[in-house]
Chains A and B, each alone.
Chain A
Amino acid sequence: MATSKPAQTSGTPFVNEVRLNARQWTAVLTILVAVTLLTPPLWKKAEQFETGADYRIPYSLSKDYWLYERRLQQVAATNIIVLGDSVVWGEYVRLNGTLSHFLNEQAGQPGKFMNAGVNGLFPLALEGLVRYYGTPLNHRKVILHCNVLWMTSPKADLSTTKEERFNHVDLVPQFAPRIPCYKADLNQRLGAIVERHFIFSQWATHLQSTYFGQKSLVSWTLEEDGNDPPLHPNVYKNPFEQITLNVPSEPADDPERGSSSPRHKPWSTTGEGSTRFEWVELNRSLQWAAFQRLVKLLQLRGNDVLILLGPFNEHIMAEENHPAFRRTRDGIRAWLMKNQVTCLVPEPLPSQLYADASHPLTEGYQLLANRIHTDALFQRWMNGR
């Protein structure tokens, strides 16, 4: 039986017709450049992205950095941006229980303070977030929260050599400075670097995060329902129907957050703690080094920065752990003063207003906002320039 002969015109046999000449490749490249350049901005116009005064990036979209940047672009020049990890974002509280909400309340101007916190961040990732996606922040007033939780142990500091899994790996430095517990292969590291600089790729991640449950399209079609044996609810669904052109907001009745949530409770019934943190010396801390770089970066970009140091839950610590904590806190304050950065160090909140080592409960945020707002230094900073 004769086999069909492959096309062979110049020594290279082809068994399909996807053989493009130079003109056709030029056409392909032109179309692709147009698509990659035009799609993200056009998408912004087409897609509805509703944000209110207390808006924060929903937990499920924490890794949608394209959306984060888009959110920053919406903020008016007079607004003050509150930047930080889950303490700023409000891990245990709802939209109306966050620090920025109560600061707005104190200021009597809804939307004056914008919650730019992201759940799961830490200084090494926050630095990356601001560096690669934070240009709309330039020349703004920024409140940057400093959470000493990230220096409470070598593990939290990411300075252990044993491999650790952590969030926002695409934001951390991929090669230098080296993070010893980050063991991603070269491909993953290079991929992370490429995505930071290729807006179309960020937009593709946005599609996955927003419409396909943070999965690629193919993984979405194979998603399991969690039963045993599992069923696959998306196998026959039309993926295009998922793209509703409407960015989902945070669920109003999130059972994980808010005063009615079982998680929303004081960290201890007695209010006395015995935790002994293995504080990492500041001069060895990766997280603190990243925070320092972040402050310098913000200054370089013309930001008027105020650092909110704490308030860390000091009640959780054993007595003998306090000197090390104070050394860390004072070291941070000293560096900030030396670098002429406005720094606010609020008094610790009452023990029952903390949910854990660093996250206040709703009432804790309210009290904290009040203390911040009534601080003369803060008023001078807010009304300055």
Chain B
Amino acid sequence: MLFHTWPFLLFMAVVLPVFFALRKTRLWLPWLTASSYFFYGWWNPYYLILVVYSTLLDFGLVALMDHCPREGQKVDVLARLTRLRFGDRVLKLAFLSAALTAAGILVIAATGPTTLRPTMSALGTLVLLMALGALFSSRKIWLLISLVNNLALLLFFKYARFVVENLNELFNWLHIGLKLSDPSVLMPLGSEYLLPVGISFFTFQSLSYTIDFYFGNVERERNLLRFSTFVCFFPQLMAGPIERAKHLLPQYRQFPPIRLQNFTDGASLFLVGLFKKLALANYLSFYVERVYENPKAYGAPALILATVAFGWQIFFDFSGYTDMARGIAKVMGFELMLNFNNPYLATGLGEFWSRWHISLSTWFRDYVYIPLGGNKQGTLKMYRNLFLTFFISGIWHGAAWTFVIWGTLHAIGVMITRELEGSEIYRTRVPKLAKQLGVFAFVSFTWIFFRAGSLSDALMIVNRIFTAGWSDPQIPALMLGLVAMVWVYQFLYESRFRSLLQTGAARVGAAVFMVLYLCLCSSGGGAFIYFQF
């Protein structure tokens, strides 16, 4: 159910009135949770098992963490084991139930159907770890379980095949007679091995809650429904923004105040998002697809323009989704964080990342870069941390070497611009526009690796850009005109001429233009690019 489809409109036509009608009761929250699960289950009901599992586990782990002392406290493990003498009834119950469940699961793993064996073994080990967490009253173990569980889900569904394929290639190259099976054989009861939509987003969101609680940055959420809604709130479940518990959870404490501005702002955001997706991203995708599917057939201008077009396509696609998500949430009275801030106006790579996919950038900053030491341990370590963060960010986007290179290139770019920004000449002499164009050119170059079907394709495109002849790129003038119009708009928005865009006539004119263009010129739409991540 995509935001720009009729079924979603129908869904909202049911969800919104009931949501508002329940405002004076306690049922608005269960309704929101149920609607979110329905929305997610629409894609594939089996996906619900994962999101519910992830939610229940993190909710439970934080509850157990809350029963463990913050400071290190000596625990008489022997007394706990032999006489079940726990200071805390919840921990005692957790220990007993986890130990018994782990034993049961491991028995099933050993004796049950072979198709269930891998899942049961993994689950049994996890529950055994939980028993240890209760036994040692260790917050660290609970956090570790949450990390292992969420990352294992992500690794299994997103990266297992990539890892297995690469390992098999390596074994083959080393003449080792070993061949790992495809991860699909690990699926329980022969179910299909599919990447659940939005898994990278909801696991990161849920994980941020446990990490934040561990470090004392957020209160424990005692209401399961509230936490479930935090993990699966339908506007942002599929592709973010990846919200933080501190920002979103408090918004579910009571029915949000709804004013007229919720509707006007929400509609404004939604319209802009819809226009970005249907009128711009989908249009650009036709050209990009044509060129990238057969790069050998195109000369340098077409390859360059298709690469630039892809840069805009992914921006319009992803920021369009986010705008719509924020617009829907706003109408319902909730605030989702800003995720894109005109990134192609950035004057440095660091700034680019503070404008592009902001919720993910800040997630990596807070949970990877800073824990690695950030910029507090000298320049060399800072660059190492930057490099690792961007490397992981590249991997997050997909299981392929092209994403690894994309992340690495950005890491190098960030280091270079950071150094440049340290020099007086660069800061004062180089015009802002030149910096902006430089960043845009570099980012566009990296998109080649992001978009190409394979590493060899990417390298071939790079090669052809510099070696192939110049021929008519055959890019529609209308397409160029639309992108130019948006870029000029963005430049104006961040210039002293911004007041031109603030007049009522400009706003009304823009909205009318967008609606009419969508009615008359757009060509329907496919799914969002970021759903695959």
Q: A residues bordering B, Cβ < 8 Å?
A: 1, 3-4, 6, 10-25, 27-28, 31-32, 35, 186-187, 190-191, 194, 200-201, 204, 207, 216-219, 221-222, 229, 231-232, 234-236, 239
Q: Which of B151-159, B202-210, B349-357, B368-376 contacts A (4 or more CB under 8 A)?
A: B349-357
How far is B501's CA from A319's CA once the two chains are assembled, in angstroms?
Answer: 78
Judge if B380 is at the interface, Cβ distance under 8 Å.
no
The distance in angstroms between the C-alpha atoms of A16 and B510, with both chains bound, is 11
In the bound assembly, the distance between CA atoms of A12 and B338 in angstroms comes to: 8
Q: Is the CB of A194 within 8 A of B6?
A: yes
Q: Please, which residue of chain A has its CB at the minimum distance from the CB of B347?
A: A1
Binding-face segment, B128-136, B166-174, B188-196, B260-268:
B260-268
12 A-B residue pairings within 8 Å (CB atoms): A3-B351, A4-B341, A6-B338, A17-B498, A17-B501, A19-B268, A20-B511, A21-B261, A24-B511, A218-B283, A219-B286, A231-B474
Interchain CB contact under 8 A, A218 and B264: no
| Other-chain contact of B511, A18, A201, A217, A231 (Cβ < 8 Å) | A18
Determine how close the nearest CB of chain B comes to the CB of A145; give it in whole angstroms: 34
Docked complex: B480-524 residues within 8 A CB-CB of A: 489-490, 493-494, 498, 501-502, 504, 506-508, 510-512, 514-516, 519-524
> Given that A217-B521, A234-B476 are contacting pairs, would A12 and B335 also be in contact in the complex, using a CB cutoff of 8 Å?
yes
In the complex formed, the residue of B with least CB distance to A207 is B520
A1 touching B350 in the complex, CB below 8 Å, given contacts A17-B506, A28-B515, A221-B478: yes
Q: Are A11 and B7 touching (Cβ within 8 A)? A: no
Complex CA gap A3/B355 in Å reads: 8
Taking a contact as CB atoms closer than 8 A, the residue among A4, A10, A200, A239 that contacts B342 in the complex is A4
- In the docked arrangement, what's the CA distance between A374 and B511, Å? 62
What distance in Å separates the Cβ of B350 from its nearest Cβ neighbour in chain A?
7
Main DSSP-derived SS at the B contact region: helix
Chain B residues whose C-beta falls within 8 Å of the C-beta of A18 in the assembled complex? 268, 271-272, 507, 510-511, 514
Bound CA span A190–B510, Å: 28
Given A1-B347, A3-B351, A186-B7: A16 touches B512 (CB 8 Å cut-off): no
Are A217 and B7 touching (Cβ within 8 A)?
Answer: no
Q: Number of contact residues on B: which range applies?
A: 35 or more
- Chain B residues whose CB sits within 8 angstroms of the CB of A219 once the complex forms: 286, 523
Contacts A17-B501, A24-B507 given: A235-B474 contact, CB under 8 Å? yes
Min CB distance A32 to B, Å, is 6
In the complex, are the beta carbons of A31 and B477 less than 8 A apart?
no
Q: A3-B355, A186-B6 are in contact. Are A27 and B265 (CB under 8 A)?
A: no
Q: In the assembly, what is the distance between CA of A201 and CA of B522, in Å?
A: 12
Is the beta-carbon distance between A222 and B286 smaller than 8 angstroms?
yes
How far in angstroms is the closest Cβ of chain B from A33? 11
A20 nearest CB across to chain B (Å): 5
Q: Which residues of B contact A239 (CB under 8 A)?
A: 478
**Contact indicator B476/A31 (Cβ below 8 Å):** no
Q: Which of B475, B506, B514, B520 contacts A235 (CB 8 A)?
A: B475
Binding site for A on B (CB under 8 A): 2, 5-7, 10, 260-261, 264-265, 267-269, 271-272, 282-283, 286-287, 290, 297, 326, 330, 335, 338, 340-342, 345-348, 350-351, 354-355, 421, 474-479, 489-490, 493-494, 498, 501-502, 504, 506-508, 510-512, 514-516, 519-524
Whole-angstrom distance from the CB of A366 to the nearest CB of chain B?
Answer: 44
> Quick check: B508 and A187 within 8 Å, CB to CB?
no
Say yes or no: A22-B264 contact (C-beta < 8 A), given A4-B341, A204-B520, A222-B287: yes
Q: Which residue of A lies closest to B7 (CB)?
A: A186
* CB atoms of B523 and A216 under 8 A apart: yes
Decide: A187 near B5, CB < 8 A? Known: A12-B265, A25-B267, A229-B297: yes
A207 and B520 alpha carbons, distance in the complex (Å): 9
**Contact residues in B for A3 (Cβ distance below 8 Å):** 341, 346, 351, 354-355
Question: Measured between C-beta atoms, what is the minimum distance from A25 to chain B in Å?
Answer: 6
Contacts of A235 in B (CB 8 A): 474-477
Q: How far is the CA of A3 from the CA of B340 in the complex (A)?
A: 12
Q: Tell me the nearest residue of chain B to A4, going by C-beta.
A: B494
List the 5 shortest-distance A-B pairs measured between CB atoms, nearest first: A190-B6, A221-B476, A17-B501, A216-B523, A217-B521
Decide: A31 near B338, CB < 8 A? Known: A19-B507, A207-B520: no
- Find chain B residues with CB under 8 A from A27 CB: 504, 508
What is the distance, in angstroms, from B495's C-beta to the closest C-beta of chain A?
10
Instruction: For residue A213, give the distance in angstroms from its CB to the closest CB of chain B.
Output: 13
A40 and B501 CA atoms in complex are apart in Å by 31
Q: Which residues of B lie under 8 Å from residue A22 when comparing CB positions?
A: 260, 264
- Residue contact B523 to A1, C-beta cutoff 8 Å: no
Q: A216 touching B493 by the CB < 8 A rule?
A: no
A4 CA to B348 CA, complexed, in Å = 13
Are B7 and A218 interface neighbours, CB within 8 A?
no
